[in-house]
Amino acid sequence: MVDTEVLHSITTESRKPKAENRIEVENLSHAYPERRALDDVSFSVSCGEIFGLLGPNGSGKTTLFKILSTLIPITSGTARILGYNLATEVRIIREFLGVVFQHPGLDGKLTIVENLRHQGHLYGLSGKTLHHRISELLECFGISDRAKERVEILSGGLQRRVEIAKALLHTPRVLLLDEPTSGLDITARQQLNDYLGVLAQTEDILVLMTTHLSEDAETCDQVGILDAGRLVALGEPDALKAEVGGDVILIESIDSDILGTAITEAFGVSTVLTDNGLRLECERGHEFVRDVVAAFPDEIQSIHFGKPTLADVFMKLTGNPFQEMEDGSTERRGHA
Amino acid sequence: MYGEVGVCLTYLNEPQGKIKNLLPIITIWWREIIRFYRQRSRLFSAIAQPLVFWLLIGSGLSASFRPAGTSDETGYIAYFYPGIVVLVLLFASIFATISVVNDRREGFLQSILVAPMPRWQIVLAQAFGGTTLALGQGMLLLLLSPMIGIRFGVTSLLLSIGVMALLAFGLTNLGLLIAWRMDSTQGFHAVMNLLLIPVWLLSGAFFPSTGVPGWLAWTMKFNPLTYGLAAFRHSLYLDTTTKAFGEAAPWTLSMLITSLFCVLTYVGATLTASTQAN
pLDDT in tens, chain A (336 residues): 333 233 223 333 344 555 578 899 999 999 988 888 899 999 999 888 899 999 888 889 889 999 999 998 999 999 999 989 999 988 889 988 999 998 888 999 999 999 999 999 999 898 899 999 999 889 888 889 999 999 999 988 888 889 999 999 998 999 999 998 887 888 888 888 888 888 888 888 899 999 988 888 888 999 999 988 899 889 998 888 888 777 888 888 888 888 888 888 888 888 888 777 888 888 888 888 888 888 888 888 888 888 888 888 888 888 777 765 443 333 333 333
3.40.50.10490, 3.90.850.10, 2.60.40.1930, 3.40.50.300: which CATH number matches A7-236? 3.40.50.300
The DSSP call for residue A204 is T
pLDDT-above-90 percentage for chain B: 42
Residue B227, classified by CB atoms within 10 Å of its CB into exposed (0-12), middle (13-18) or buried (19+), is buried
Q: With helix as H, strand as E and coil as C, how does chain B read?
A: CCCCCHHHHCCCCCCCCCCCCHHHHHHHHHHHHHHHHHCCHHHHHHHHHHHHHHHHHHHHHHCCCCCCCCCCCCCHHHHHHHHHHHHHHHHHHHHHHHHHHHHHHHCHHHHHHCCCCCHHHHHHHHHHHHHHHHHHHHHHHHCCHHHHCCCCCHHHHHHHHHHHHHHHHHHHHHHHHHHCCCCCHHHHHHHHHHHHHHHHHHHHHCCCCCCCCHHHHHHHHCCHHHHHHHHHHHHHCCCCCCCCCCCCCCHHHHHHHHHHHHHHHHHHHHHHHHHCCC
**Site from B25, B111, B113, B122 to mutate, A interface, most A CB atoms within 10 angstroms:** B111
A110 touches chain B (CB under 8 A): yes
Continuous H helices in chain A: 61-68, 90-96, 112-122, 127-140, 156-168, 186-203, 214-218, 237-242, 256-267, 285-295, 310-318
Residue B271 amino acid letter: L
Q: Where are the domains of chain A?
A: 7-236, 243-318
A320 vs A55, A164, A235, B221, CA distance in Å?
A: 12, 34, 20, 64
A residues 248..277 contacting B (CB < 8 A)? none
**Facing B118 at nearest CB: one of A3, A71, A123:** A3
A105 touches chain B (CB under 8 A): yes
CA B11 vs. chain centroid, Å, equals: 43
A residues 161..220 contacting B (CB < 8 A)? 161, 166, 168, 171, 188, 191-192, 194-195, 198-199, 202-203, 205
A145 touches chain B (CB under 8 A): no
> What pLDDT sits at residue B71?
63
The answer to whether B178 and B100 have CB atoms below 8 angstroms apart is no
The answer to whether A199 and B5 have CB atoms below 8 angstroms apart is yes
The answer to whether A10 and A94 have CB atoms below 8 angstroms apart is no
CA B276 vs. chain centroid, Å, equals: 23
> What pLDDT sits at residue A273?
82
A91 touches chain B (CB under 8 A): yes
Question: How far, in Å, CA of A303 to CA of B233, rounded?
Answer: 84
**Facing A140 at nearest CB: one of B4, B11, B35:** B4
What residues form DSSP beta bridges with A30? A38
Phi-psi region of A204 (alpha: psi -120 to 50; beta: other; left: phi over 0): left
> What pLDDT sits at residue A10?
32
> What pLDDT sits at residue A324?
56
B277 and A73 within 8 Å at the Cβ level: the answer is yes
Closest residue by Cα to residue A334 from B105, B26, B207, B47: B105
> What pLDDT sits at residue A79?
93
Q: What is the model's pTM?
A: 0.82
Chain A residue numbers touching B110 (CB-CB < 8 A): 71, 99, 101, 103, 105
The answer to whether B47 and B140 have CB atoms below 8 angstroms apart is yes
The answer to whether A27 and A40 have CB atoms below 8 angstroms apart is yes
Chain A residue numbers touching B10 (CB-CB < 8 A): 136
Question: How far, in Å, CA of A20 to CA of A81, rounded?
Answer: 8
Q: What is the CA radius of gyration of chain B?
A: 21
CA A222 vs. chain centroid, Å, equals: 11
Q: What is the dihedral of CA A215, A216, A222, A224, to 10 degrees?
A: -90
Residue of A nearest to B275 (CA): A1
> What pLDDT sits at residue B173?
96
> What pLDDT sits at residue B87?
93
Q: What fold is seen in the domain A243-318?
A: Alpha-Beta Plaits (3.30.70)
Chain A residue numbers touching B5 (CB-CB < 8 A): 140, 195, 198-199, 202-203
| B57 or B263, higher pLDDT | B263
- When mean pLDDT is compared across A257-271, A273-287, B69-83, B137-151, the lowest value belongs to B69-83
A43 vs A28, A47, A64, A79, A243, CA distance in Å?
A: 9, 14, 12, 9, 19
Average pLDDT, chain B: 85
> What pLDDT sits at residue B139?
94
Whole-complex ipTM: 0.83
